[in-house]
Amino acid sequence: MAAVASGQPKLLDAVTALDCEVIAAIATVSHILFIGAVVDAKTCSDRRPLLWHARQYTRVGEQIGAQHGAG
């Protein structure tokens, strides 16, 4: 594993890694919601991220309508 600025680990094959400073923690009924300020960001420019849309993966930049017979 590589690391971000704070020294926290990041997955080697991650397309993007955000290093955040927790600025708030909000307790809900069953979870804790953490709010963070991004202090460092690393991206891998040779990889394209995937999106989950309409129950399937698609790549960023593809025309979503084309997958459904539109346009």
Give ∠ CA 36-45-16 in degrees, rounded to 5: 25
Question: pLDDT tier at 43 (50, 70, 90 boundaries)?
Answer: confident
Average pLDDT, the chain: 80
pLDDT at 6: 83
pLDDT, one tens digit per residue, over 14-32 is: 888 889 999 999 999 999 9
5, 40 contact by CB (below 8 A): yes
Residue 4 has pLDDT above 70, yes or no: yes
Residue 70 has pLDDT above 60, yes or no: no
Helices (H), the chain: 64-67
**Better pLDDT: 64 or 33:** 33
